[in-house]
Amino acid sequence: MADTRLDPVILTADLLRCPSVTPEEGGALVLLQTVLEAAGFECHRVDRNGTANLFARFGPKGHARSFGFNGHTDVVPIGAEADWSHPPFDAVREGDWLYGRGATDMKSGVAAFVAAAVDMVQTAPPDGAIILAITGDEEGPATDGTVALLEWMEAQGEAMSVCLVGEPTCPETLGDMIKIGRRGSINAQITVAGKQGHVAYPHKAQNPMPAMAALADRLSRHVLDEGTAHFDPSNLQITAIETGNPASNVIPARSEMRLNIRFNDLHSGASLDAWLQRECAKVAAVHGVQIACETRISGEAFLTAPGAFSDLIAAAVAQHTGLQPILSTTGGTSDARFVQRHCPVVEFGLVGHRMHEVDERVSCQDIQGLTVIYSDILRRYFEG
């Protein structure tokens, strides 16, 4: 009998040829919908505010055992195309390497799960449901992607019992790391208002820089925490201090500072906002200036406590790689920060150190290996 399984490497290449730079859909979700509907999945486009999203389900709606997968097909811009060895949307293969924007992050992960899911429903249909929630907004503002999918699912009575996010999680080798949580992230823009004047007549001006320097030093030296059992210490990084003042003989009218805090589950976005506001008020009182602090929380810290779900994934990884994966919360944010409010969520995917680079590429052998692991995860889940 001929092998009718979906080839995840070919599917990855087909997805790479879709120029889906955020917020463009580029044909990627159209392709996936075609593949999934042909395999018997019920599909719905859940587009919102120009962002393309795809929901797909095989099996009964509302089943108590619904395995979910979350991923994205949008990619970051290519940069200078002349710097690429191969055109970034041509999906050129050289030996084991498949080149293209999104090869690592994360069209290969989506292709691997789709191939695993299609194989299962065609050969051993699960006693339950398989749900895919694929967005085109993970690399962008992330306001109308996975968030829109989850809100639509709630309104439609659709639910995932557990969810696997297929982001690249492995630092060096397929199987060396699983993400069971993520740090939170808060951005702040702090403005110190002064009064412009001539440097020779400081009494006629009010220099905002001493207050800004004091505040920057105070925030940088503060130890937020020492870390927890599953999280590294929280850290604050100042990313810019600007005055917009090109002259050396002018006291600037204002100074602006931008910073980011990556925080663990000892904090919340609200508690850190309150702390920043208090620190600004203290420095403002000492220096006699006005300080305004505006914050934006891009995600709260969360943890899926080690247990049955992470054990199941770790067992499948160990079975096929020979590695015992580290359970980690390191790295940046992902859409798991939204999914964790819906159901238990764990992340596992390919090696990620080439994502977003010029000449982004993925190992075809790793794509095949990830597909085998995803297939085993599905089998283990539905076999109980």
Task: Kindly state the tokens that stand for 320.
Answer: 């096929």
Read off the pLDDT of each residue in 42-61 and give the average, rounded to a whole number: 97
Burial class (CB within 10 angstroms; exposed 0-12, middle 13-18, buried 19+) of 130 = buried
Is residue 184's pLDDT more than 80?
yes
Residue 208 is predicted with a pLDDT of 98
Q: Which domains does the chain have, with CATH numbers?
A: 8-182+302-382 (3.40.630.10), 184-299 (3.30.70.360)
- Whether 74 is catalytic is yes
At 1 the pLDDT is 35
- Is 273 annotated as catalytic? no
Question: Rounded distance, CA 124 to CA 59, Å?
Answer: 12
Residue type, 191: T
The C-alpha R_g of the chain, in whole angstroms, comes to 24
Beta strands, E only, the chain: 42-45, 53-58, 66-72, 93-94, 97-99, 129-135, 162-165, 177-179, 181-182, 184-193, 197-198, 235-242, 250-251, 254-263, 290-299, 302-303, 326-328, 345-347, 361-363
**Residue 332 banded pLDDT, cuts 50, 70, 90:** confident
Kindly report, residue by residue over 115-169, the tens digit of the pLDDT. Answer: 999 999 999 999 999 999 999 999 999 999 999 999 999 999 999 999 999 999 9
Going from the C-alpha of 184 to that of each of 130, 214, 297, 337, 356, the distances in angstroms are 29, 26, 8, 8, 21
Task: Report how far residue 95's alpha carbon sits from residue 86's, in angstroms, rounded to the nearest whole number.
Answer: 14
Per-residue pLDDT, averaged over 353-382, amounts to 97
Q: How confident is the model at residue 345 (pLDDT cuts 50, 70, 90)?
A: very high
CA 183, 184, 188: angle at the middle one, nearest 5?
135
Question: Mean pLDDT over all residues of the chain?
Answer: 96
For the four alpha carbons of 268, 274, 277 and 283, in that order, the dihedral sign comes to negative
**Residues 239, 243, 244, 245, CA torsion sign:** negative
Q: Catalytic one among 14, 138, 144, 167?
A: 138
Residue 168 DSSP code: -
Q: Is the pLDDT of residue 71 over 80?
A: yes
Read off the pLDDT band of 4 (50, 70, 90): low
Catalytic residue, candidates 14, 74, 137, 376: 74
Average pLDDT over residues 357-381: 98
